[in-house]
């Protein structure tokens, strides 16, 4: 049976429409997750919600304890994760406000806890990451987005940068040459850790701004917040259409 968790990103520290049935502080061998695990029902279905940056939003992307978050979810028998990520748009189709269900990742992050397979191993493990996201979960989200007539794009390569600063124009140019369509700071190592734990994982990206040098206006926190506010309303509609899975 599917046991779903939603990891909320910037702009989604709580899930509107979730009837909360319990909250739990959870300790893991890697420390504490970003916040309480919130258990609840959503459209009549049980799920678990975890805000990646804490609630209130205080943990920057490079300080998120990704291992504790994913460990806590697998310890609660989660089989599927829908991750919500705010991103910048790199290629032309990725305009602010758009929802994108990426299908590939390039990881530029460093110094984060990237793996559970590190110490005290009986044998060395290399996960297959050819398809970094779960294709069935991606398909389901795309269908739900089409059904709800949302501005959704069904593919894209997510470039995961270290942050917390935004990029330079030359860095965005390089990401584009590398084949990235989107840039964000939280996609990795989360996706790989979920794969290590054998949890189906897909991401709903909300384009918050044009990447550096791509738009005509300066990137401000205020303009990002405004775009995310309306983008997250679309994410909530998408989740309503996608659940039950």
Question: Does the annotation list 10 as a binding residue?
Answer: yes
CB nearer to ligand HPA: pick between 43 and 219 = 219
The contacts of residue 98 (CB under 8 Å, 6+ apart) are: 89, 151, 152, 153, 206, 207
212 in Cβ contact with 203 (< 8 Å): no
The only residue of 6, 78, 185, 188 in contact with ligand HPA, by rule CB under 6 A: 185
Does 176 bind ligand HPA (CB under 6 A)? Our answer is no
CA–CA gap between residue 69 and residue 59 (Å, rounded): 13
Residue 211 within binding range of ligand HPA, rule CB under 6 A: yes
Q: Which residues contact 221 (CB under 8 A, 6 or more apart)?
A: none
Binding window for ligand HPA (CB under 6 A); candidates: 95-103, 149-157, 177-185, 231-239: 177-185
Residues 133-172 that bind ligand HPA (CB under 6 A): 161, 166-167
* Residue 134 annotated as binding site: no
Q: Bridge-partner residues for 45, per DSSP?
A: 42
Show the tokens assigned to 160.
Answer: 């995961």
CB of 114 to ligand HPA, least distance (A): 19
Of all helices (H) and strands (E), which one includes residue 68?
Answer: helix 66-75
Cβ distance to ligand HPA smaller for residue 10 or 65:
10
Piece of the chain touching ligand HPA by CB under 6 A; list 40-48, 101-109, 113-121, 182-190: 182-190
Segment interacting with ligand HPA, rule: CB under 6 A, options 65-73, 92-100, 123-131, 180-188: 180-188
Query: Phi and psi (nearest 5°) for 136?
Result: -60, -40
Task: Report the alpha-carbon distance of residue 6 to residue 34 in Å, rounded.
Answer: 13
Phi/psi region, residue 29 (left: phi>0; alpha: psi -120 to 50; beta: rest), is alpha
* Total chain residues near ligand HPA (CB under 6 A): 12
Q: How far is CA 196 from CA 26, 187, 189, in A?
A: 20, 15, 10
48-107: contacts with ligand HPA (CB under 6 A): 86-88
The least distance separating ligand HPA from the CB of residue 197, rounded to whole angstroms, comes to: 25
Interaction of residue 184 with ligand HPA, rule CB under 6 A: yes
51 — alpha (psi -120 to 50), left (phi > 0) or beta?
A: beta
Residue ranges in 189-208 that form contacts with ligand HPA under rule CB under 6 A? 208
Q: Summarize the annotated binding site for phosphate as residue ranges.
A: 10, 52-53, 186
Residues forming the site for ligand HPA (CB under 6 A) = 86-88, 161, 166-167, 183-185, 208-209, 211
Q: Summarize the annotated binding site for substrate as residue ranges.
A: 185
């Amino acid at each position: 049976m599917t046991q779903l968790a939603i990891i909320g990103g910037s702009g989604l520290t709580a899930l509107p429409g979730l009837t909360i049935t319990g909250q739990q502080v959870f300790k893991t061998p890697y420390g504490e997750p970003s916040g309480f695990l919130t258990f609840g029902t959503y459209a009549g279905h049980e799920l678990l919600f975890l805000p990646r940056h804490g609630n209130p939003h205080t943990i920057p992307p490079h300080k998120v304890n990704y291992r504790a978050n994913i460990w806590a979810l697998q310890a609660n028998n989660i089989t599927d994760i829908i991750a919500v990520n705010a991103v910048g748009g790199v290629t032309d189709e990725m305009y602010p406000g758009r929802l994108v269900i990426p299908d590939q990742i390039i990881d530029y992050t460093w110094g984060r806890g990237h793996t559970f397979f590190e110490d005290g191993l009986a044998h060395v493990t290399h996960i297959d990451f050819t398809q970094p996201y779960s294709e069935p979960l991606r398909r389901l989200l795309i269908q739900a987005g089409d059904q709800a007539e949302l501005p959704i794009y069904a593919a894209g390569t997510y470039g995961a940068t270290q942050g917390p600063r935004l990029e330079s124009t030359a860095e965005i140019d390089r990401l584009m040459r590398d084949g990235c369509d989107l840039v964000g700071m939280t996609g990795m190592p989360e996706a790989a850790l979920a794969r290590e734990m054998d949890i189906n994982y897909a991401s709903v990206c909300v384009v918050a701004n044009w990447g550096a040098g791509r738009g005509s206006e300066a990137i401000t926190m205020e303009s990002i917040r405004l775009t995310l506010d309306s983008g997250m309303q679309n994410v909530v509609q998408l989740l309503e259409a996608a659940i039950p899975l």
